[in-house]
Amino acid sequence: MHIHILGICGTFMGGIALIARAFGHQVSGSDANVYPPMSTQLEAAGIRLMEGYDPGHLDPAPDQVVVGNAMSRGNPAVEHMLARGLRYISGPQWLAENVLHDRWVLAVAGTHGKTSTASMLAWILEYAGLKPGFLIGGVPRNFGISARAGDAPFFVVEADEYDTAFFDKRSKFVHYRPRTLVMNNLEFDHADIFDDLEAIQRQFHHLVRTVPGNGLIISPLSDGNLHDVLEMGCWTPLQHFDTELEADWHVADCAPDGSSFDVICETHNVGTLQWSLSGRHNISNALAALAAARHAGVPPSVGIEALARFENVKRRMELRGEVGGVRVFDDFAHHPTAIRTTLDGLSQQVGNRRILAILEPRSNTMRMGVHVGQLADALGQADQVWVFAPPELGWDAATVLRSLGRRLHVHDSTQSIIDEVAGLAAPGDQVLIMSNGGFEGIHQRLLDALDSRG
């Protein structure tokens, strides 16, 4: 069967392509931006990539077109597909019908931590010898790929609440029908498709409705927004986790930076985790992953052994390099809560060393200015803050963040940020670059500028 994927170089759609290829399908795809690392990963799997959305990419007609959620009416390939009456399907529905229908699905949902928690969970199952399939919105370093078919029955999926496709405005995750569901947290996000928090909560409750009575839902004890979701109706056993309170899963004897802690499961101390990650948010992710893995039959002690060898995900506090004693980190944080927790984790790790934060407000929600009232406080632990504010940014960064005072530097050019940071950075400084995009290659460009200082 020949499958053509529109928007193939996104992490999710690229994962669909890899799984379809593993199932023996002929796979091709189009995207506006065909570049590494996704392009090289796909080409290595024998997948033909085409730049742009030329209708000619669909001649001769494939057996099925899988449509990414970045596609919209007016796109030349979409219009050709519709006019020719080609068979088409969304990525989440393709995954549900071709992969998940006979699997034990472990889904990880939530505003923050989905990628990290799903990666931890997949690695625990792998370490336990279960060889799970997975589709994750990032690249777990323990695997080096974002998706694989794996062996039955287990499949771990990052369950995104973003909409499915231009023809299906339900959240992606309603297609997955998990037996094990992790809901990490819930805040308002994706203001480009949701009007308010209540709209997101309704979608989460649609997800809750799909979990069977012999399944398990795992959620934080102290998240009021998720409690509201569950109070709409829940027909599945619940387990709670918390890093501060005595939930079903909680911690004791926690190091200040989160690098070591005891795991308590239903009043029993099941082991001590010492690992390379830091921050309370990652402890929370770990508890959720351990609980989900136990539901799949992995003892907590084995899960703790696995997490001690967990190598995190690319672009999650990823050290991109060190020059002259200056360390440069890349992190995906693009929501005030994620920014705050990332800075807190780094601060606990590095003590009194200076943190130089660089932020690109790139997500649709961030560019719309929905969370600007929380942003200054979220950046508060940084010693210096640079904000990339191109003309198309929908709000005045200098005004919104004026409470940061002389710590704040606003630029409309990445080069000017690089020049200023390279001129100011000193040995021992930690440079944290936060963006959910490529940020014009600023990470390597900054390392090169630091190196050129001699």
pLDDT of 454 reads: 63
b/e map 224-258, b = 16+ CB within 10 Å: ebbeebbeeeeebeebbbbbeeebbbbbeebeebb
pLDDT per position as a tens digit, 188-229: 777 677 888 999 999 999 999 999 999 999 999 999 999 999
All structural domains of the chain with their residue ranges:
2-90, 99-307, 318-451
CA atoms lying within 13 Å on the CB side of residue 39 = 10
Q: Cβ neighbours of residue 73 under 8 Å, at least 6 residues apart?
A: 79, 166
Question: What pLDDT, on the 0 to 100 scale, is given for residue 370?
Answer: 66
Fold of 2-90: Rossmann fold (3.40.50)
Instruction: State residue 256's pLDDT score.
Output: 87
Sign, CA dihedral 270-272-275-279, equals positive
Predicted pLDDT of residue 369:
67
Q: Which residues pair with 363 in a beta bridge?
A: none
3-class DSSP assignment, residue 82: helix
Cβ atoms of residues 91 and 16 within 8 Å: yes
Can you give the length of the chain in residues? 454
Nearest C-alpha neighbor of 434 from the set 382, 358, 372 = 358
Which residue positions in the chain have pLDDT lower than 70? Answer: 35-36, 191, 364-365, 368-371, 454
Q: What tokens does 361 get?
A: 């407000």
Report the C-alpha gap between 137 and 125 in whole angstroms: 18
Inter-helix orientation angle 280-295/336-350, to 10°: 110
Instruction: Return phi, psi of residue 360, to 5°.
Output: -110, 110
pLDDT, position 305: 97
Structure-block tokens of residue 160: 């995104």
In the prediction, which pLDDT does 138 show?
82
**Candidates 3.30.70.260, 2.40.50.100, 3.40.1190.10, 3.30.565.10; CATH matching 99-307:** 3.40.1190.10
Contact in structure between 65 and 4 (CB atoms under 8 Å): yes
What is the residue type of 191?
A
Helix (H, G, I), strand (E, B) or coil at 109: strand
Alpha helices in 296-441 (DSSP H): 300-307, 336-350, 364-367, 372-378, 397-400, 414-424
Hey, what CATH topology would domain 318-451 get?
Protein-Tyrosine Phosphatase; Chain A (3.90.190)
How many whole angstroms separate alpha carbon 125 and alpha carbon 108? 14
**pTM, 2 dp:** 0.82
